[in-house]
Every structure is written in structure tokens, then in C-alpha cells.
Chain A
Amino acid sequence: MNLLKIAFRNVSRQKRRSNLLAIAIAFGVMMIILVNSLTHGLVQNTQTNFESALGGHIYISGEILLPSGRKANRIDNTAVLNAVIPQFSSFIIDSQKRSSISGNFIFRSKTTSGMVYGVHWDEEESLLNALSVVEGSLDRINEADAIVLPLEVMEKLNLVLNEKLLLTFDTVTGQANVGEFTIVAVTKDTSGLGFSAAYANIDYVNALLGLETDEYQSYNLILTSLSLVNPITEQIKQAIRAQGVPLKPEPEKEDVSMFSMAIEGMFGSVANEEPWEGTRFKVENLNDFMDMVTQVVAILDAVALGMFLIMLMITMVGLVNTFRMIMIERTQEIGTMRSVGMQKRDVTKLFLLEGLILALRGALLGIIAAMVIGAIIRIIPFPDGTPLAILLHNGHISVPLVPSNIIMVTFIISIITVLAVWSPARKAAKLTPADALRS
């Protein structure tokens, strides 16, 4: 039957009315796709920024209780991790072992606090890719005392490339120490985390901290999928417990802010706790730091959904009224079609098809508009050091269009439109040919 052809042509009969309805639908579709894409990009970028700043998805650290009662960030029982981690090798695509120093950089009379990660440069490909070098180069990073310094530290201390600077800190046993580094490269903070780190050779950092050359303070894992982060974290905890080794007690969730968790994860807790023997492990993951972001995203998604629903309601009212008008305008035409043998169900189908064509036309328009506006948003550059940096990718907002989201929105719009048109369509079908022709 040529119902589809008639429906297509009928939609084009009242161009202005059809276009206005399509634009209303398109606006709703565009808004929901854009907001959803923005929040999706926001989560993606935040995760990536955390991942590159913290060196993975899952972070395993350890601490031992010194005879003095102080805690030291140290894993003196690497055999536990050597037994546990291989159990999850099929889910791990990369791993890094790092040490870290937190202390004060000193140059001439100026000081500033900072953090230095000791890394195995030959195993840190993702870090090398993520570092945004603004001065110097990463060619000399394998020199023993080489340090890659954040731009903020350079500016605060008025440093220039190749100069030597000092770092005062406590070793793992709590003794004050000083280390000397040569600046080989300067990087800018692209993560927006606010605690831009410096990077140095792990052997040199270990030596300064009083650790053995092959020791490390944290074991960071990058998994094959972000969806595995929580379950694998729990399984690693169970596997560590199964080795008869204690885990650090977890604090109450509501008492923990994002930064306190980050700082505690890296420097060790200062709270008074029950004593323990040997190394106790702490297993954290990316999602511990993502809580705040996911809350913001949930709020944004809820606002977008609310807007979408309001727009849908307005559009629905418009559609119902429009199709009532169409039914009145075409009463005689319906009578003619029924007279020449069109069944009631085909009259209903014709109206529903017209509604569906309008909805799909609006949805297509909305998707194109979302793509265009998304592309424009993507090219807007944000200045270095912006507080929004954690949400950005290389200084730009990401607006990834998610196909499943587009399909879902189109589907919802189509269903809602068909529902809106249903009542006028049924009324049109119920008209007796004689009454319709007499109108």
C-alpha cells in the first residue's frame, strides 16, 4: 500500500506547521543529546585525568608501623602482591610501581611544597604520553637526578631549565633528608587536580626515601575496562586477605572528601589506630575519587531529563492539537478514502505514520544540530590553569555523541509522538464515511 507515500506527502502539505513541530522536537532532542554528551565527556575526561595523574585505575599501597609508633608508606612484603596480582592478569593491561616523596622544594631563599613521583620511565608509556612538556625535553629523564617539574613550581621559585634545586622531606623512617635534582623538563598541569606532581627516576627516589632499589610504595593497575574497577578492587582485597595479610580499615564514606582520600592514599593516614604487624595494604580505585564527579553528573543528567520531559509534554500538547486540526481539515478526505475501501485500521496507520515521520524528521534535525553545536563546543579552547581543567581533554571540552543515547532519544520521541497522535488517529478512523462526507 502507498500509505507511506501519502503520509510523506501529507506531512509536506502544511510546510510551516510541520516545520514548527519538527523544530520543537528537534530542540528537545538536541538538548538531551548535548547534555548527555557533555556529561559523558565530563566523566570520561575526569577519569582519564585521574588515571594519568594517579597512574592507573586501582592503587595498592602499603604501610608498616615503625617501632617509634609512626607509620611508613612501605611495602616490605612484595611476595603478597607477587602472588595476588597475577591472578588478575587477564583484566590488567598495564601496571606501574611507584614511590613518592612529599616535601618542600627549595631554590635560593624561596620554597614551595610539592610532590615527586619516582617512576620507572621505561614502563610509564601512558605517563610519557600524558605529560605536556612546555620547556626542555624528556630525552634526559634517565639521568640519575633528573626531575620533570611542573610549571607552577618553576614560576614560584623563579627556576630555569637545567638548574639544580633541593627537596627537603622525611624518609620512610621519619628522618629528615635533602635531595638534589636537575631540572630536565617542565610540564604544565593538564589534569586540573591542583596538585601537579614532579617526576623523577624511581631508583633515585627510593635511595632518598631509604628504600631498596627494587622496592616501591604503590602498585598501580590499569584494567581492560572501567566497568571492572569496583569488582576487581573487591576481589584483590579478598585475595590479599586470603594471603593472611591485613588491610587498612576503611573510613566512613561520608567523612572522606576527595582530596583527603587522595592525600591519605599517597602519604598515609595520621589518625590514631590499633597497632599491626608487618605490611598492611590499602586498595583504592578511581571511583573513590570520582564520587563527587558522578554526583554532579547525576544532577546534570536529572536536570537534562527534566528539561527533556517538559519539552516532550509541550511537544505532545502541540502534536495532539495539530493532529486534531488535521483530522478536522481532512474529514472529507477521510470519508473519501473510507468510501473507496480504506479500512479503519489503515486510517489510523496513516495518521500514526504522519506523526512518526514528523518525529523522525525532528529527531534527525536535532541530531544534526547536536553534532554541529557539539563540534563548535569542542573547538573552544580553555586557558592553561583553568579550574575546569580536570573536566577537559587537552584544554577542550569533550562532547562525544553516544550512539546508544541517540537511538534511545529517537525511540522515546517516536513512541511519545505515536502516543500523542493515537487519539486523533482513532477518532479519524471511527468517523463513518457518510458523516465524514457530509462535513
Chain B
Amino acid sequence: MQGANILEAHNQTIVSLEDVHKIYPLGKTEVHAVKGVSFSITKGEFISIAGPSGSGKSTILNMIGCIDTPTSGTVTINNTKTSGMNDNEITRLRHQTLGFIFQSFNLIPVLNVFENIEFPLLLDNKTKGNKKERQEWIDYLVAEVGLEQWRHHKPAELSGGQRQRVAIGRALATKPLIVLADEPTANLDSATGEAIIELMKKMNQDVGTTFIFSTHDQSIVDIADHVIRLRDGLITHNDRKSQE
């Protein structure tokens, strides 16, 4: 099984947030988007961060993804505190440890399916590796997300569901420890949305990567084995389903 070496041990904390606050300036006022959130995530979990709009889901995902910084509190990714890191180090951490799936897919329009999935690997000589091995890995991902016949198509030639499949493939390209998906089904119809979540779940099981996704869709929340519910920037529930 490809990527199985990523997940060597369960029950190992891979993400932890301690008393994290996030305040955004909004004109002359401030918006307190996250009000002292603390939780931890263990390796290999399939986690949903659920809550209504404005509850702070995306803000928390952005802070875990190191694309935003907390106003106070500590975010630790794979035993590395993100505070105090410079932009180069943060970018390297994102590249090596994290994968991203966005609500509006955010694919690079000038690259085809194969190239979009391959793109993160080419950003660093360390991950670039051997061309043959790299191609085999991307071919595997293209097949896993079910886009073999579309590999040479550009994003504009794909449906929403297909685009999100490409985004899943891209998020897994660098074999990251964590994949963050911000409302991955929000722009899709319910059937396609469920198929995308099923695919993410399959990749979680096959590749062993930790998946953290935000949603406000209850039917999708139920698929997760760890659910963190938010309201007005605070955690209201933090429930783990029992592991077999």
C-alpha cells in the first residue's frame, strides 16, 4: 500500500491547539473569530470541524494550515510550534507536512490534471525526486481519484466534482501527514459531495493521511470519526467515535 509508511503509529498527537485566539481588524472595530480554542488531533484521524457560517471553522483550518497566524495561543504541528517561524520555514512546513483542499477547488488553470497534481512535488528539489518514481506516484493518484481518462484535461474542461478530485490528488502529492479541506463539498451537489467525502475517507484509509475537513452539512459530518463542533468561535462538542 502506497504511503503506508506515513502512518507508523496511531494515537500520536499530530496537531494541537492551546488557547488559540484569532482577532481580525475590521475597519475601526475588531472581530473575535476564535475565542480560546484548545484541542488535539491524533495521526490518521478523519476529523470534521463542524459549525454554522461565522463559527470560526475556516479560521481554525487556516491556522492549522499555517496560512494564518493566531493572535494568541499555540499551534503545534507534528511537534513543531508554528509561532516564531519565518516565512520560508512556514512555507517549507506547509509544503512537507500539509495538503490543502479548497471549497472553490483553486486549481492552476494553465496546468492539466496530471500537472496540477504533480505541481507541489516540483516546488522543492527534495520532493521532486526521481522522475520515473514521481510519475508512477502521480499516475497512482490520478487513478485513485478516478481521472485516468482526464489526465490531459485542463480544469476548465472538468466538472466541479472532477476538479475537487484533482484537488484531493494534489493535496496528497507530497505524501503529507495532514490534509486540510475547507468546506470541500460546499460547491458540489449532494451526491457529488458525498462521493468526494467517500474518496477522502478511502484515501485516509489507503494512504493513512490525517484528514481535517470543515463543513456545515450534517450528513457529511456523520462520516467523520472525530467531530469538533464550533459556535461563535468556541468549541461546543469534541467527540471521538470509538475506534475498532
Residues of A at the B interface (CB closer than 8 Å) are 1-2, 5-6, 9-10, 12-13, 332-333, 335-344, 346, 432-434, 437
Flag if A340 contacts B62 (CB, 8 Å): no
Shortest Cβ gap from A437 to chain B (Å): 7
In the complex, what distance in Å separates the CA atom of A212 from the CA atom of B182?
A: 106
**Residues of A contacting B92 in the complex (Cβ-Cβ under 8 angstroms):** 341
Flag if A342 contacts B67 (CB, 8 Å): no
In the complex, what distance in Å separates the CA atom of A344 from the CA atom of B65?
A: 17
**Residues of B contacting A432 in the complex (Cβ-Cβ under 8 angstroms):** 67-68
Residues of B at the A interface (CB closer than 8 Å) are 62, 65, 67-68, 87-88, 91-92, 94-96, 99-100, 102, 104, 106-111, 115, 119-120, 122-124, 170, 174
Flag if A342 contacts B123 (CB, 8 Å): yes
Q: A343-B123, A434-B67 are in contact. List 11 more A-B contacts (CB 8 A).
A: A1-B123, A5-B115, A332-B104, A333-B106, A338-B91, A339-B67, A342-B91, A343-B91, A344-B87, A344-B91, A437-B67
In the complex, what distance in Å separates the CA atom of A75 from the CA atom of B88?
A: 83
Which residue of chain A lies nearest to B127 when distances are taken between CB atoms in the complex?
Answer: A341
Known: A336-B106, A339-B67. A2 touches B119 (CB 8 A): yes
**Residues of A contacting B68 in the complex (Cβ-Cβ under 8 angstroms):** 432-434
Flag if B115 contacts A2 (CB, 8 Å): yes
**Residues of A contacting B108 in the complex (Cβ-Cβ under 8 angstroms):** 6, 333, 336-337
Shortest Cβ gap from A351 to chain B (Å): 14
- What would 8 A/B residue contacts be, using CB atoms closer than 8 Å? A333-B106, A335-B106, A337-B108, A339-B106, A340-B94, A434-B67, A434-B68, A437-B67
In the complex, what distance in Å separates the CA atom of A344 from the CA atom of B87?
A: 8
Shortest Cβ gap from A426 to chain B (Å): 14
**Residues of A contacting B65 in the complex (Cβ-Cβ under 8 angstroms):** 339
Which residue of chain B lies nearest to A332 when distances are taken between CB atoms in the complex?
Answer: B106
Query: B87, B96, B107, B110: which contacts A10 (Cβ < 8 A)?
Result: B110
Flag if B102 contacts A341 (CB, 8 Å): no
In the complex, what distance in Å separates the CA atom of A338 from the CA atom of B62?
A: 13
Known: A2-B122, A434-B68. A341 touches B111 (CB 8 A): no
Query: A338, A341, A346: which contacts B174 (Cβ < 8 A)?
Result: A341
In the complex, what distance in Å separates the CA atom of A13 from the CA atom of B108?
A: 12
Shortest Cβ gap from A256 to chain B (Å): 66
In the complex, what distance in Å separates the CA atom of A10 from the CA atom of B154?
A: 13
**Residues of B contacting A338 in the complex (Cβ-Cβ under 8 angstroms):** 67, 91
In the complex, what distance in Å separates the CA atom of A437 from the CA atom of B65?
A: 12
In the complex, what distance in Å separates the CA atom of A5 from the CA atom of B111?
A: 9
Flag if B106 contacts A433 (CB, 8 Å): no
Query: A9, A12, A342, A344: which contacts B111 (Cβ < 8 A)?
Result: A9
In the complex, what distance in Å separates the CA atom of A344 from the CA atom of B120?
A: 15
Which residue of chain B lies nearest to A13 when distances are taken between CB atoms in the complex?
Answer: B110
Shortest Cβ gap from B132 to chain A (Å): 17
**Residues of A contacting B124 in the complex (Cβ-Cβ under 8 angstroms):** 341
In the complex, what distance in Å separates the CA atom of A184 from the CA atom of B120?
A: 84
Flag if A339 contacts B100 (CB, 8 Å): yes
Flag if A341 contacts B95 (CB, 8 Å): yes
**Residues of B contacting A333 in the complex (Cβ-Cβ under 8 angstroms):** 106, 108-109
